[in-house]
């Protein structure tokens, strides 16, 4: 049932978390042993004959009115022109540099090259976005956050529709105009992807705008009490089902912080999806709060989402 705002204040649920509580501090520790079994998927190593897409960079983009006073880098993967035969499917990556890295655990452009080469996917543009770097002070959810961490949390963790508006009314038109691209308006042809806070940001944008995007790939998503994301399972259970297909991934050693336990949070999301009759899958691995397991599954997760 609804909670009276006065009760939230009485319970101090409106307060910023101190740097240290009960001898615990926020942070993530990963043991390499947890990740040893995970390597980038085979599709991350394209056949030499595969036609490679181009990657264009928009450096220090400062054109957002939704997040004024911020700059960020954006990279755009455009498939070889021989594959472009109409409006393009699009996949948008939060914390895009992590997914773009050619030596990282995902190597997303290499995987897209392979899937295009094998004619398994529609022509697909990839947009890789970094969180904004603010030129002003930003209030974070915990006292240990500096302005950069707080801005990322403001964009990714809030449950408002701001990030979805940013993606659909600012980023997509900017990229389309700058590179002469036409994106499909079918929400099934639009996918949002991210890890941790970027994962909940992906789902949150689709939740607010299922008419714009109906595919979500969430790695170690932060469905925890950062800015209220722990409320999503309850919302999913009691809100008429939305046409969102979601691929969840987490690990047995996922993060455990003052904000909550990521493994339990993702299990609770999966349970809510099951209860409400959503089209979803949940992969729980052995890893920690990282992209290693998600990278090993990346090509197959796209096949599942885009089947």
CATH code, domain with 200:
3.40.50.1820
Q: Which of 215, 206, 287, 292 is nearest to 247 (CA)?
A: 215
The reply to whether 165 falls in a domain is yes
Vertex 42: Cα angle to 41 and 48 (nearest 5): 135
The reply to whether 104 falls in a domain is yes
The reply to whether 27 falls in a domain is no
Vertex 261: Cα angle to 278 and 128 (nearest 5): 65
The reply to whether 222 falls in a domain is yes
Alpha helix stretches (DSSP H) within the chain:
5-10, 32-35, 96-100, 108-117, 147-156, 162-165, 172-179, 197-208, 232-238, 262-276, 292-296, 298-305
Q: Give me the tens of pLDDT residue by residue for the chain, a chain 307 residues long.
A: 577 777 777 776 778 888 888 888 888 888 899 999 999 999 999 999 999 999 999 999 999 999 999 999 999 999 999 999 899 999 999 999 999 999 999 999 999 999 999 999 999 999 999 999 999 999 999 999 999 999 999 999 999 999 999 999 999 999 999 999 999 999 999 999 999 999 999 999 999 999 999 999 999 999 999 999 999 999 999 999 999 999 999 999 999 999 999 999 999 999 999 999 999 999 999 999 999 999 999 999 999 999 9
The reply to whether 105 falls in a domain is yes
Q: Which of 40, 45, 53, 31 is nearest to 127 (CA)?
A: 53
The reply to whether 25 falls in a domain is no
The reply to whether 297 falls in a domain is yes
DSSP conformational letter for 158: -
- Which domain covers residue 121, as residue numbers? 51-305
Count structural domains, the chain. 1
The reply to whether 41 falls in a domain is no
């Amino acid at each position: 049932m609804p909670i009276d705002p006065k009760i939230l204040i009485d319970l101090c649920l409106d307060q910023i978390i101190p740097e240290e509580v009960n001898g615990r501090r926020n942070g993530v520790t990963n043991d390499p042993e947890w990740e040893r079994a995970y390597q980038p998927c085979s599709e991350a190593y394209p056949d030499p004959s595969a036609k490679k897409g181009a990657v264009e960079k928009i450096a220090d983009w400062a054109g957002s009115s939704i997040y004024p006073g911020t700059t960020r880098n954006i990279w755009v993967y455009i498939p070889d022109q021989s594959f472009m035969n109409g409006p393009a499917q699009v996949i948008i990556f939060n914390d895009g540099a992590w997914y773009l890295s050619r030596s990282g655990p995902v190597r997303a452009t290499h995987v897209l090259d392979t899937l295009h080469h094998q004619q398994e996917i529609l022509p697909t543009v990839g947009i890789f976005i970094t969180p904004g770097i603010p030129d002003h002070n930003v209030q974070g959810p915990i006292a240990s956050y500096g302005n950069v961490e707080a801005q990322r949390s403001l964009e990714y963790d809030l449950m408002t529709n701001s990030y979805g508006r940013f993606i659909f009314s600012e980023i997509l038109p900017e990229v389309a105009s700058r590179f002469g691209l036409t994106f499909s308006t079918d929400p099934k042809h639009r996918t949002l992807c991210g890890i941790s806070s970027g994962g909940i940001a992906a789902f949150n944008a689709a939740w607010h705008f299922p008419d714009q995007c109906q595919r979500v790939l969430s790695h170690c998503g932060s469905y925890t009490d950062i800015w209220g994301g722990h409320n999503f399972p309850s919302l999913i259970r009691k809100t008429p089902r939305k046409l969102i297909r979601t691929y969840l991934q987490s690990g047995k050693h996922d993060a455990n912080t003052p904000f909550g336990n990521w493994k339990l949070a993702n299990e609770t999301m999966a349970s809510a999806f099951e209860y409400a009759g959503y089209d979803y899958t949940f992969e729980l691995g052995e890893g920690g709060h990282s992209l290693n397991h998600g990278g090993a599954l990346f090509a197959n997760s796209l096949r599942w989402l885009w089947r």
